[in-house]
Amino acid sequence: MKTSTTLTAIVATLLLVSGCSKDPVANLSDEESRIYITDHDSTISFSNYQTFYISDSVAVIKNGKSKMQRTESDVAYIDAVKNQMILHGYEPVEKDQNPDLGITVNRIISTTSGVISYPTYWDSYDSYWDPYFWGYPGYGYYLPYVYSVYSITEGAVSVDMIDLKNAPQTGELKVIWTGLIRGNNIYNEQVADSQVKALFDQSPYLKSF
């Protein structure tokens, strides 16, 4: 299974140019800002699975630490995933009924900070303008700083589908499908249905028949 990570690089690039240009994403709607990523084990036939159990709480993962929560938004996402699974032919069962699939919904919050340095630009800065232009012939330029400090807080919702039907006696359980939603205003019960539907629409192989 491949892992896709692009949003952090995009955000960092936008931060670099934001000081000298208009924000290119300032006018995007919440929906336009969202990214939907899905991936799966291509060796799996999902029609071999018939039943599933979905956790009734959400794992909140923040900077490497996790805890379980159940907010209105969390419940909306859990219900949305459950409804999509039923629409695709899977039957919900309880945890003690030996489900073929286990499903978890996760809220991921990550804060990244760092320093961006551009010494080459500053070293040659005095070549951009002749001080005579400003009425100060014989002067040079100097800048008291050569870096910028940034902090980025990102949020995402992920859905993981785990193969319980073929679970090993020992070792690790296998994730056979994952969906990820990133963007503005995603922790919102009013948009949970449409966002989860987008993940399933992007995964036409997810069906029990």
Q: What is the pLDDT of residues 52-102, one digit of tens each?
A: 999 999 999 887 788 999 999 999 999 999 999 999 999 999 999 999 999
Per-residue confidence band for 8, with pLDDT thresholds at 50, 70 and 90: very low
Q: Residue 174: which of 166, 163, 182, 184 has the closest Cα?
A: 163
Has residue 180 been placed in a domain?
yes
DSSP string, 114-145: EEEE-HHHHHTGGGTS-GGGGT-TT-----S-
Q: Residue 80: which of 201, 208, 209 has the closest Cα?
A: 201
- CATH assignment of the domain containing 69: 3.30.160.670
Per-residue confidence band for 28, with pLDDT thresholds at 50, 70 and 90: low
CB atoms within 10 A of CB 170: 5
Has residue 146 been placed in a domain?
no
In the predicted model, what is the mean pLDDT of residues 22-39? 70
36 vs 11: which has the higher pLDDT: 36
Has residue 158 been placed in a domain?
yes
pTM summary value: 0.70
* Residue at 46: amino acid letter: F
Per-residue confidence band for 39, with pLDDT thresholds at 50, 70 and 90: very high
Mean pLDDT of the chain: 79
Has residue 51 been placed in a domain?
yes
Question: Which residues are 179's β-sheet partners?
Answer: 38, 159
Dist. CA 60–CA 80, nearest whole Å? 18
Has residue 183 been placed in a domain?
yes
Question: Which residues are 123's β-sheet partners?
Answer: none
Print the domain residue range for 60: 35-111+154-201
Has residue 82 been placed in a domain?
yes
Has residue 190 been placed in a domain?
yes
31 vs 82: which has the higher pLDDT: 82
Has residue 4 been placed in a domain?
no
Over pLDDT 90: what percentage of the chain?
51
Half-sphere exposure of 145 (CA within 13 A, CB side): 5
Ranked by mean pLDDT, the top range of 102-116, 117-131, 171-185 is 171-185
**pLDDT at residue 148 in the model:** 62
Q: Residue 62: which of 106, 2, 12, 5 has the closest Cα?
A: 106
Please state the domain count of the chain: 1
The DSSP code for 46 is G
Q: What are the pLDDT digits (tens) for 140-167?
A: 655 555 556 665 666 899 999 999 999 9
Three-state secondary-structure class, residue 98:
coil
